[in-house]
Amino acid sequence: MAALPILYSFRRCPYAMRARMALWVAGITVELREVKLADKPPELIEVSPKATVPVLVLADGTVIDESIAVMRWALSQSDPEGWLAGDDALSVLALIERNDGPFKHHLDRYKYPTRYPEETDGDEDALRLHHRSQGLAILEELDARLTGQNQLWGSTRTLADIAIFPFVRQFANTDRAWFDAQGLPHLQRWLEGHIASDLFLSVMPKFAPWKAGDEPILFGP
């Protein structure tokens, strides 16, 4: 049997989530290696010294260690839902870049203010609330975009939706009662649809952290 691609992943990482969803929808089976971030396996560090997830190692030894690149590689093999349609449009690229740049910046400081002592001036709550409001402003723009359409790029999900959804989910779950009380009806409907989707549920089972010598875990539809 031909060697399968190896995917180093972490279940709760939003970058890894979007990579797993793209691989799944493309019908690609991988050997999954769940990573414990506090105890990363040396095999991961060897193939990708920055040792962040996801990392996809192809059968020929090619290493893809950026989540969007993993998504695009998977969809270049098979794109049954047409996720790559419009992927090179400036508006799509801008949506993803704003998510991965400014929104992720605010999300990290909202969710983990203690990690940024140099920015708190001794007031972690003030830092958290500031970045929550900044993140909310970006989500309000997404909510407006979703008015009258099911997904960010029209009626059906595309790469942009799957690339952005895990980060919105993480923001929402930081204080779900507060998030649910915000005036974001279109975004909240969009988020709940993705959370309840068969695709998302399929890529979220729990696995023990991988170590050398373990039986391979085959992951795919």
Asked whether residue 32 falls in the same domain as residue 52, the answer is yes
Asked whether residue 15 falls in the same domain as residue 75, the answer is yes
Residue numbers of the chain with a pLDDT score lower than 50: none
* Residue 185: CATH number of its domain: 1.20.1050.10
Residue 91's pLDDT is 82
Asked if residues 67 and 17 have their Cβ atoms less than 8 Å apart, the reply is no
Residue 2's pLDDT is 64
* R_g over Cα of the chain: 18
Question: What is the DSSP secondary structure assignment for residue 12, as one 8-state letter?
Answer: T
Could you tell me the sign of the dihedral formed by the alpha carbons of 10, 172, 133, 123, in that order?
A: negative
Best CA proximity match to 7, nearest among 67, 75, 49: 67
Model pTM greater than 0.85?
A: yes
Asked whether residue 108 falls in the same domain as residue 53, the answer is no
Asked whether residue 162 falls in the same domain as residue 109, the answer is yes
Q: Establish if 1 belongs to a structural domain.
A: no
Asked whether residue 125 falls in the same domain as residue 100, the answer is yes
Question: What is the DSSP secondary structure assignment for residue 216, as one 8-state letter?
Answer: P
Q: Considering its fold, how many domains does the chain have in total?
A: 2
| DSSP structure string for 140-208 | HHHHHHTTTSSBTTBSS--HHHHHHHHHHHHHHHHTHHHHHTSS-HHHHHHHHHHHTSHHHHHT----P
Residue 80 is encoded by which pair of tokens? 């049954």
